[in-house]
Structure 1
Amino acid sequence: MTETVTQPDTPTDPQALADAVTQAMWSRDRATQGLGMQLQSVKPGYALIRMVVRGDMVNGHHICHGGFIFTLADSAFAFSCNSYNQNTVASGCSIDFLAPAREGDVLEAEAVERSLSGRTGVYDITVRTLSGKTVALFRGKSYRIKGEVIAGLQQADGQA
């Protein structure tokens, strides 16, 4: 059985911990930043992220390429399932595209934890326009691996 050793300066309050994890992950997440995503809210087991559909995100049908919608949902999934400061990765996911998103639309991906037991979790992510139209439904299954998010940042920075 592996034991996680928490760094002495790691917050113990669940929301403060989720905030610290968010800062650590955000500082390293060039993909999410590069697509112009904006974190709106992260709580234990929850995340809300926004993204504006840019002109370079539309496909030959002049609608948002599904890969960008998937990436938005996947980013919300990542921030929600890592919010407990335990390194967590996707073990599987699926997405259903329900309606198109168009250039200029602001999309929100809301990730909600449905189950967390042992090393695994299940998260539902709904992608909507700001007007409330549901664009996609994403389900992610998570698996906890060795290490902590914040400690990983400290190690990368040479602080640990």
Structure 2
Amino acid sequence: MDNSEIREQHDAQQLAEACREAMYRDDYTAQAMGISIERVGPGYALGRMEVRKDMVNSHRICHGGMTFALADTLFAYACNAYNRATVASGCSIEYLAPAFLGDILTAEAVERSLSGRTGVYDITVSRQNGEVVALFRGKSYRIRGEVIGAATAPETMAD
């Protein structure tokens, strides 16, 4: 790997982190749900959420919509990490095991394909013991605009 490739990777990582900060500032849903966005990179995001009492249904397990919202949130951070405004064009989820009050759920979003305006991302949601509770697949579509403008992009990106 030469110096220009190293710089490109560093710049892409800085851009992904700047996009995370810009998005989270206005992401009232993630904030209200207590979702933390812990790591991002180009086409990648990892975050966590604690299952609270207001997230548990009458079966005393985490409501599926909460698990979906966690996965969907990490999907959004992964596909917007390139600073190109991107939305979901379709999503599906498979619930494999329940999550319970007090569980710490981790969602990891990984880009599988990106071509033109569309992408495919897989998100794995697991409990603190590593047990997978859900598998989510999101299809993305790039729309007009950017996550952050040139004025707020990292200095190295303005070069």
Q: TM-score, normalised by structure 2?
A: 0.87
- Whether 1:20 aligns to 2:12 is no
Counterparts of 1:107-122 in structure 2, within 5 Å, are 107-122=105-120
SS at match of 1:148: coil
Q: Aligned partners of 2:143, 2:151: CA distance in 1, in Å? A: 16
Amino acid corresponding to residue 56 of structure 1 in structure 2 = D
- Whether 1:30 aligns to 2:17 is no
**C-alpha deviation, 1:153, in angstroms:** 9.8
Cα deviation code 1:22-75 (max 9, x no counterpart): 010000100001000111100110000100000110001000000000000000
Q: Aligned partners of 1:141, 1:112: CA distance in 2, in Å? A: 12
Q: Aligned partners of 1:47, 1:20: CA distance in 2, in Å? A: 13
Q: TM-score, normalised by structure 1?
A: 0.87
Percent of counterpart pairs with the same letter? Answer: 63
Q: Aligned partners of 1:98, 1:152: CA distance in 2, in Å? A: 42
Q: Aligned partners of 2:145, 2:40: CA distance in 1, in Å? A: 20
Q: 1:23 to 1:66 in 2, by over 3 A?
A: same
**C-alpha deviation, 1:147, in angstroms:** 0.3
Cα deviation code 1:77-133 (max 9, x no counterpart): 000000000000000000000000000000000000000000000000000011100
Amino acid corresponding to residue 116 of structure 1 in structure 2 = L
Counterparts of 1:1-160 in structure 2, within 5 Å, are 13-151=11-149
Q: Aligned partners of 2:120, 2:71: CA distance in 1, in Å? A: 14
The corresponding residue for 2:157 is: none
- Contact 1:127 1:137 survives alignment (8 Å): yes
**C-alpha deviation, 1:151, in angstroms:** 2.3
The corresponding residue for 1:6 is: none
For structure 2, the 5+ residue unaligned runs are 1-9, 153-159
SS at match of 2:129: coil
Q: Aligned partners of 1:119, 1:40: CA distance in 2, in Å? A: 26
For these two proteins, the number of residue pairs brought into alignment is 143
SS at match of 1:13: helix
Q: 1:83 to 1:48 in 2, by over 3 A?
A: same
